[in-house]
Amino acid sequence: MKKIIIFVFVIFSISLLAQQTGTVQRERAIMRSGPGSIYEIIAELAKGSTFSILEEEDGWLNIKMEDLNGYVSQKVIQERKAADDIFAQMGTQKTTLRVSRHGMSAGVKGFAERFTRKFDGSPSFVDVYVTFQLNPKEYKYFRKETYKNLNRKKNYKNVLIPASKVKDYFSFPEEGLGIGIASNIASLGIYNDPALTHYVNSVGNIVVEATDVYDINYKFFILDTDKVNGYACPGGIVFITRGMMELVRTEAELACVLAHEIAHVARHHGMVEMEERKHHIMAEDAFTDMDEEMESMGIKQDKVSKEVEAEMEELCFEIFETVINGRLQAYEKEADELAVIFAARAGYNSRQFLTLLKRMKSSSSQSTNEHYTQEQIEKRIKLIKKAIIGSDLPDNLFDHKDRWERMGK
């Protein structure tokens, strides 16, 4: 009798779960084929869309909506104040979009191509970005090996992330802008080592899973230059240089570098300047044909969108220069503090961030980033020491030096 009661209770619980529904509460909600940001995009769901929740798994909801079945982040059903920036005004999606096999909505692709031309980027990078994809099966094996005999949730998730004041997603104009900026950076040359690139992406996504932006699809690329540097573009595109890779000695050090860049993306650094900056920009009629192009993407231009085009052009150049030429000091401070937390929550020994910066300070390596100068590195070392003390890091963090030595050389 007891077994029958338990069985009935389980069936009843499953039935209740199947009857649960959710409603999209934010301006952009992406449905993927699996429970993770590395899985391919199936569709973009309109705000206000209602769906059935079939199952919940690690912050992801397995859902069904009409004939669509896939996964969305649990965060899409959490109500938040709507964004009121000009990108949000231009990027509001009114209907559910099925995403074509190139893995990018027409809106993102259109903006990506426009900003690639605007910033004189490499047109081929758009294809490189779209086609690069981690194999979910291989990544799951990598993650299993990373946490062999360890319980990440039990050991590391107690390291708390400070509350964020920015939105936790990117509109498709912002994502397109990020690809455009990245296309310019990529013109420096992408380092051609597929195995190493996949390894860096695997480590990077281990860190992403431990952050509060786990549903943003980050992609990591290596630049073929001996300069020591890193770049983070809106939407989740991260570059680190070959020169930076050559300084790294453990996987934990690599994770810290990636965590720093992940933090820039997570907190939308570069998207909104903290001080008033004006640039003399040649208009070149860059946005005079925006009406036609927006319509070709299936986006209806309204009066509000037209009125903000001039403001958008200036802001785009500010963001571009911020990413390319260095960031405000406040950005670096927050990114360093979050890097310690993000890496540790993923299980990596973020104390090794100090080791890497000290090695960088004593090396003769050059960087084009003002925040990697000798003086700035010294300031960052002091800051990170305080962050480590304040974060109360666990003792059993790992470095996976052996795996780095196999892959990094």
The average pLDDT across 246-253 equals 97
30 and 120 inside one domain: no
- DSSP for 234-284 reads TTTEEEEEHHHHHH--SHHHHHHHHHHHHHHHHTTTTTS-SS--------T
265 and 357 inside one domain: yes
Single out the residue in 45, 67, 82 at which a domain terminates: 82
Phi/psi of residue 293, nearest 5 degrees: -70, -40
- DSSP for 141-196 reads HHHHHHTTT--HHHHTTTSPPPPP-S-SS--HHHHHHHHHHHHHHHTT-B---HHH
Q: Percentage of the chain with pLDDT > 70?
A: 72
53 and 106 inside one domain: no
Lowest mean pLDDT among 102-116, 140-154, 225-239, 380-394: 102-116
Query: Is pLDDT above 70 for 343?
Result: yes
38 and 174 inside one domain: no
Say if 296 falls within a structural domain.
no
Question: Residue 213 and residue 211: Cα distance in Å, rounded?
Answer: 5
b (16+ CB within 10 A) / e for 5-41: eeeeeeeeeeeeeeeeebebbbbbbbbbebbbbbbeb
Question: In 3-state terms, what secondary structure has residue 292?
Answer: helix
136 and 59 inside one domain: no
Say if 251 falls within a structural domain.
yes
What's the pLDDT tens digit per position in 118-173?
888 999 999 999 899 999 999 999 999 999 988 776 677 788 999 998 888 988 88
What's the pLDDT tens digit per position in 253-276?
999 999 999 999 999 887 754 333
Single out the residue in 41, 65, 82 at which a domain terminates: 82
Q: What is the span of the domain harbouring residue 24?
A: 2-82
The average pLDDT across 102-126 equals 82
Say if 294 falls within a structural domain.
no
- For residue 84, the number of C-alpha atoms closer than 13 Å in the C-beta half-sphere is 1
Beta-strand pair 237-241/219-223: parallel
20 and 144 inside one domain: no
Q: Which pLDDT value is given to residue 398?
A: 95
Say if 300 falls within a structural domain.
no
Q: Which pLDDT value is given to residue 100?
A: 54
Single out the residue in 32, 51, 82 at which a domain terminates: 82
107 and 66 inside one domain: no
333 and 268 inside one domain: yes
